[in-house]
Amino acid sequence: MSDAPRKIIIDTDPGQDDAVAILLALASPEDIEVLGIIAVAGNVPLDLTQRNARIICELAGQPGMRVFAGCDRPMVRPLVTAEYVHGKTGLDGPQMADPTMPLQDQHGVDFIIETLRREPAQTITLCALGPLTNIATAMERAPDITGRIQQIVLMGGGYFEQGNVTPVAEFNIYVDPQAADIVFRSGVPLVVMPLDVTHKALTTGARVKAFRALGTEPGRMVAEWTDFFERFDKQKYGSDGAPLHDPCVIAWLIRPELFQGRKINVEIETQSELTMGMTVADWWGVTGRPSNALFIGSVDADGFFALLTERIARL
C-alpha cells in the first residue's frame, strides 16, 4: 500500500476477539498507526480490560504503546458483562503473566479529545471494539471534536442475525444503547461490522490450526484464546467455530475489498426494554431516512483468515 498509514485510536474491552484485533493492528504498521488504545468496561469490568489491553501490547512486543483507562460504566444503564463467554478475566484460556508496562495517567476520554483537537481534522479514525461509551462521552463533553473525526469503524449490531445477548440486540450496542445512539446520530461517517458479517468469519478447526502452526507465542495465544471462547458459540449455534467479531474492524481498514455492505440508515432502540439496543437497520431502504452507515453484510472469510495469519506471523 502506497498511502501513509491510517492513524487510529482503538477503543476496546478485551475480550479474546478484541485481543486478536489489536494484534492485527499492531502487526500492520504499513497500513495502520495506532496512536493509543483505550479500555472501556464491557466484556469484563474496566480494571480487567485495561490490564488485558496491556498484556496484549506486551505480547505484540510493543510495551511502549500507550494504553488508557476510559469509562468504567455505561452512560445511563448499569454495566452488563460477558464472563460467560470470555471467562473471569476476559482473556481466559492460556496462562498469562500480569503486564509490567504502565497504564497512562490520563483518562481515555481526555486522550480522545486531546488527540482529535491536536491532529489535523479528518485524519483520525476511531476503531470501536466494545460498547461506545468512551466515544459518545467524548462527543458529549467536547462537541467540537465530532466534525474532526475521519471515520468510526465499529463492531456492533445485527440485522439479519438480529442479536446475541437478547433476541434482537448485539452485546456492544446493548451494553450502552445511549452511547450508540449518540454515535449513530453524530453525522460521523460510520462503518459497521454487525453480527451479519462476523457470523461468517468462523474460527474453523483448520483456521485455528494455522494460527497454532505459526510456532510463535502470539500464534499459540491466538489459538488458545480461540479454543477457549469458541466453546460457547459452538454449543449455542452448533457451528464449526466461533465468530471472530472484532478483527473484522481492523481487517476492513487493511483490506476493505474483502467485505461487502450497503450504505443505509441505522437507528438505535433506546426506549423499549423488550428491544433495547436493537440496531434498526434499513437494509431494504423502506424508510426514506438518510444513510448514516456503511453496514457490512459479508466477508471473504478465507481471505480474512489468511490476512490474520500472515500478519500475526510477523509478531
Q: Which residues are catalytic?
A: 245
Site string for Ca ion, 229-268 (x = CB under 5 A): -----------------x----------------------
Query: Please, what sign has the CA dihedral across residues 50, 140, 287, 262?
Result: negative
**Residue choice 6, 15, 26, 278 for contact with Ca ion (CB under 5 A):** 15
Q: Which of residues 211-230 bind ligand BDR (CB under 6 A)?
A: none
- C-alpha to C-alpha distance for 297 and 171, rounded to whole angstroms: 18
Query: Shortest distance, CB of residue 214 to ligand BDR, whole angstroms?
Result: 22
How many amino acids of this chain bind ligand BDR (CB under 6 A)?
Answer: 15
Beta strands in the chain (DSSP E): 6-12, 32-39, 67-69, 124-128, 149-155, 190-193, 259-264, 266-268, 279-281, 293-299
Of 15 and 163, the one with the shorter C-beta distance to Ca ion is 15
Query: Shortest distance, CB of residue 155 to ligand BDR, whole angstroms?
Result: 5
**Residue choice 129, 139, 168, 293 for contact with ligand BDR (CB under 6 A):** 129
The stretch near Ca ion (CB under 5 A) out of 1-9, 122-130, 270-278, 289-297 is 122-130
Distances in Å between the alpha carbon of 261 and those of 18, 296, 304?
22, 4, 15
Query: Shortest distance, CB of residue 268 to Ca ion, whole angstroms?
Result: 17
11 contacts ligand BDR (rule: CB under 6 A): no
The stretch near ligand BDR (CB under 6 A) out of 91-99, 133-141, 167-175, 210-218 is 167-175
Count CB neighbours of 232 within 10 A: 15
233 contacts ligand BDR (rule: CB under 6 A): no
DSSP 164-228: SSSSSB-HHHHH-HHHHHHHHTS-S-EEEE-HHHHTTSB--HHHHHHHHTT-SHHHHHHHHHHHH
Contact between 224 and 188 (Cβ < 8 Å): no
82 contacts ligand BDR (rule: CB under 6 A): yes
- C-alpha to C-alpha distance for 93 and 56, rounded to whole angstroms: 14
Contact between 67 and 59 (Cβ < 8 Å): no
> Could you tell me if residue 61 is left (phi over 0), alpha (psi between -120 and 50 degrees) or otherwise beta?
left
Partner touching 170 among Ca ion, ligand BDR, none, CB below 5 to 8 Å by kind: ligand BDR
**Residue choice 130, 219, 241, 297 for contact with Ca ion (CB under 5 A):** 130
- Reported as type and span, the H/E element at residue 81 is none
Cell of 250: 481492523
Partner touching 164 among Ca ion, ligand BDR, none, CB below 5 to 8 Å by kind: ligand BDR
Contact between 186 and 148 (Cβ < 8 Å): no
Q: Which of residues 171-200 bind ligand BDR (CB under 6 A)?
A: 171-172
**Residue choice 71, 129, 242, 244 for contact with Ca ion (CB under 5 A):** 129
Query: Shortest distance, CB of residue 165 to ligand BDR, whole angstroms?
Result: 7
- What is the SS3 string spanning 252-263? HHHCHHHEEEEE
17 contacts ligand BDR (rule: CB under 6 A): yes
The stretch near Ca ion (CB under 5 A) out of 32-40, 124-132, 137-145, 285-293 is 124-132
